[in-house]
């Protein structure tokens, strides 16, 4: 990453700690006090050495045993106090770090929840999960452990240098002049580790995506169906090998530098004894000073080595923050306005109107919808008909505001959906799509998702209306049976009935159906149609039609071709026109006409009830 971008990421990372600046300042004070109490006993050690050294060596009259024991007690008390402050420092570090991570996770999750459907169709689930979990967890380690270690060691280093100058400024000056020589290597090693860490994260995300795809129920069935176990094993092995190589490179990247730092500290200690020993023999220094200085040299180079290692870790951690910020910087396409118009879902009539709506998916030149104008009166059922790719499902997406049109408006009761809150749109429009998603939880909780405050009696009633009675009565735990990942313990028809039960429980004034009965057998389809007919009574219903029965029951049919409405009207009128609808009828519906006539229309009794 270029330096300017690196500094920008670093500034944003530091800004995460701004809400905790006062506690962070207290942490610095506690760390400084702990480091001071950890180092001050060195001066006492120097005095103890001088007290127990014969006078002819130091020129100092040895002290008595009581004085030495007092000095030992004071040094021990300082070490104990330093240990207690270390515990306090650890607690403060965890509080700050966990609060920062909590806020970061929440921001990231909330931001991803606000993304349009486009984001989820363009990004692999495994990649998204990797950033929300793996990346954030590794950032947590850097924040709660590495960052605290960095500041503690910096403070320890400064205090140790101060004490070294107090003992012998000449030896201390030599140490100060040598230390800056390690700054440039530290920076270079950190940048290299940062590059490796980003590559490691990307490879980890790719592996997560591969595992999520191939080990899910759908993926596992596909792999077995085509006999691709060896192929997928080889793909995983290649990714695993790349991850192994990157892991080794990450670990070894700074080992030579760390070894050199530790070796330099050891050599410096020998140098102190050499120079200090000569000074003691010549009378230029006392033995206590040399001993204390040797301890401080260790105290200097030990935290300096840690600072060097931590610095490289923090620099490499910027790669993690960069990946997280990349998601946080993704623009939100579907925005909830602050001044949304309040809507009472109970008073919604359900009039739907598309006014000159044009919409195109990303990276496509041809719009999915091109200047679409339709109108559905309250209580009407509108059928959307057309060849595959004509724009029917896109209409369902726009009614639910999964996307916003690039031009034109989608209105419910005269309100532009962009002027409503997300909660009001969700309360107004209910959907039963052809592909039903179920959570890995009980049948009861999957139905309750339609209305979280629903009682068990209301859930049972919705399940009964949707034709689920035979299902839950045949299960050992009934509605408390866990349906498995994505509901794979249920058949396609059973999952669709759960989706219908959700819609019944939600009780919205506008319903969108992507032919939810398409996967059911003849008997169950009749039952579900009766249930959906009761559900649709008095509501505005938009149906993506795949069956003749749905078309026959529609109050108005809109025929789509290449994203445009090319015909509109009722079934009989469109047949007489003998255009695209008539051709679709002959191709798609004629084969099922006899069956559908036997079953009856979508809501055959509504006209007479």
pLDDT digits (tens, 9 = 90+) for 3-28: 566 677 778 877 888 888 888 888 88
Cα three-residue angle 483-485-488, rounded to 5 degrees: 60
Q: Return d(Cα 59, Cα 149) in angstroms, integer.
A: 42
Q: Return d(Cα 50, Cα 45) in angstroms, integer.
A: 9
Q: Return d(Cα 386, Cα 588) in angstroms, integer.
A: 10
pLDDT value at position 609?
32
Q: Return d(Cα 526, Cα 529) in angstroms, integer.
A: 5
Q: Return d(Cα 146, Cα 422) in angstroms, integer.
A: 41
Q: How confident is the model at residue 472 (pLDDT cuts 50, 70, 90)?
A: confident
pLDDT value at position 194?
65
Give the sheet arrangement for strand 564-569, strand by strand. Answer: 429-432, 510-513, 540-544, 381-385, 556-561, 564-569
Q: Domain spanning 378-397+418-599 has what CATH number?
A: 3.40.50.300
Task: Find the mean pLDDT for residues 351-361.
Answer: 93
Give per-residue pLDDT as tens, 457-466.
Answer: 888 888 888 8
Residue 195 has pLDDT above 70, yes or no: yes
Domain coordinates in residue numbering, the chain: 3-328, 378-397+418-599
- Burial class for 222, CB neighbours closer than 10 Å (0-12, 13-18, 19+): middle
pTM for this structure? 0.68
3-state secondary structure of 407: strand
Q: How confident is the model at residue 263 (pLDDT cuts 50, 70, 90)?
A: low
Q: Which two tokens stand for residue 241?
A: 């090998």
Q: Return d(Cα 67, Cα 62) in angstroms, integer.
A: 10
Q: Return d(Cα 513, Cα 434) in angstroms, integer.
A: 8
pLDDT value at position 559?
93
Q: How confident is the model at residue 517 (pLDDT cuts 50, 70, 90)?
A: low
Q: How confident is the model at residue 376 (pLDDT cuts 50, 70, 90)?
A: very high
Find the length of the chain.
609
Give per-residue pLDDT as tens, 565-598.
Answer: 999 999 889 888 888 888 888 876 655 555 555 4
Q: How confident is the model at residue 190 (pLDDT cuts 50, 70, 90)?
A: low
Q: What's the CATH fold of domain 3-328?
A: ABC transporter transmembrane region fold (1.20.1560)
Do the beta carbons of residue 568 and residue 374 sit within 8 Å?
Answer: yes
Least confident of 58-62, 257-261, 580-584: 58-62
Task: Find the mean pLDDT for residues 361-372.
Answer: 86
**Residue 185 or 55, more confident:** 185
Exposure class string for 371-381: b at 16+ Cβ within 10 A, else e: ebebebeebbb
Q: How confident is the model at residue 560 (pLDDT cuts 50, 70, 90)?
A: very high
Q: Which residue has the tokens 């008909």?
A: 385
Share of the chain above pLDDT 70, in %: 72
């Amino acid at each position: 990453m270029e330096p300017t971008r690196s500094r920008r990421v670093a500034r944003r990372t530091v800004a995460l700690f701004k809400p905790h600046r006062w506690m962070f300042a207290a942490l610095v004070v506690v760390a400084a006090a702990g480091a001071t109490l950890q180092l001050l006993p060195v001066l006492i050690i120097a005095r103890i050495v001088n007290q127990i050294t014969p006078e002819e060596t130091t020129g100092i009259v040895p002290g008595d045993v009581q004085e030495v024991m007092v000095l030992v007690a004071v040094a021990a008390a300082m070490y104990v106090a330093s240990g207690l402050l270390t515990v306090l420092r650890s607690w403060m570090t965890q509080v700050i770090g966990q609060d920062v991570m909590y806020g970061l996770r929440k921001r990231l999750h909330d931001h991803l929840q606000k993304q349009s459907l486009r984001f989820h169709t363009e990004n692999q689930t495994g990649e998204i999960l990797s950033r929300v979990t793996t990346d954030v967890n590794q950032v947590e380690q850097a924040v709660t452990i590495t960052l605290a270690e960095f500041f503690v060691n910096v403070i320890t280093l400064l205090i140790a240098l101060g004490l070294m100058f107090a003992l012998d400024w000449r030896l201390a000056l030599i140490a100060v002049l040598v230390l800056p020589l390690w700054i440039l290597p530290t920076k270079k090693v950190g940048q290299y580790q940062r590059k490796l860490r980003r590559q490691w994260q990307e490879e980890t995300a790719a592996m997560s995506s591969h595992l999520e795809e191939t080990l899910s129920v759908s993926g596992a069935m596909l792999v077995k169906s085509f006999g691709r176990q060896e192929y997928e094993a080889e793909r995983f092995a290649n990714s695993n090998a790349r991850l192994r190589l990157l892991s080794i490179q990450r670990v070894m990247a700074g080992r030579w530098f760390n070894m050199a730092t530790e070796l330099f500290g050891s050599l410096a200690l020998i140098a102190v004894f050499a120079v200090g020993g000569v000074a003691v023999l010549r009378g230029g220094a006392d033995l206590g000073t040399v001993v204390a200085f040797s301890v401080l040299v260790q105290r200097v180079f030990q935290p300096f080595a840690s600072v060097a290692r931590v610095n490289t870790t923090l620099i490499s951690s910027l790669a993690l923050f960069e990946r997280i910020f990349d998601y946080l910087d993704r623009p939100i396409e579907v925005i909830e306005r602050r001044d949304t118009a309040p809507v009472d879902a109970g008073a919604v009539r359900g009039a739907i109107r598309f006014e000159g709506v044009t919409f195109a998916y990303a990276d496509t030149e041809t719009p999915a919808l091109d200047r679409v104008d339709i109108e559905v009166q309250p209580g009407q059922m509108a059928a959307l008909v057309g060849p595959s790719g004509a724009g029917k499902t896109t209409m369902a997406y726009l009614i639910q505001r999964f996307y916003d049109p690039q031009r034109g408006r989608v209105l419910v009761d005269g309100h532009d959906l962009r002027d409503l809150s997300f909660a009001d749109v969700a309360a107004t429009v209910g959907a039963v799509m052809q592909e039903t998603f179920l959570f890995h939880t009980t049948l009861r909780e999957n139905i309750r998702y339609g209305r979280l405050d629903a009682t068990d009696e209301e859930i049972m009633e919705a399940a009964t209306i949707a034709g689920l009675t035979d299902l839950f009565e045949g299960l050992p735990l009934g509605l408390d049976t866990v349906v498995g990942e994505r509901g794979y313990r249920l058949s396609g028809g059973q999952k669709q009935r759960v989706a219908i039960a959700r819609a019944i429980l939600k009780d919205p004034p506008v319903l969108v159906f992507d032919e939810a009965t398409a996967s059911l057998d003849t008997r169950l389809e009749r039952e579900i149609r009766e249930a959906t007919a009761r559900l649709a009574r008095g509501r505005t219903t938009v149906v993506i039609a795949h069956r003749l029965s749905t078309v026959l029951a529609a109050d108005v049919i809109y025929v789509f071709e290449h994203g445009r409405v090319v015909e509109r009207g009722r079934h009989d009128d469109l047949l007489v026109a003998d255009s695209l609808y008539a051709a679709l009828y002959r191709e798609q519906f004629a084969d099922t006409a006899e069956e559908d006539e036997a079953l009856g229309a979508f809501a055959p009794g509504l006209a007479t009830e």
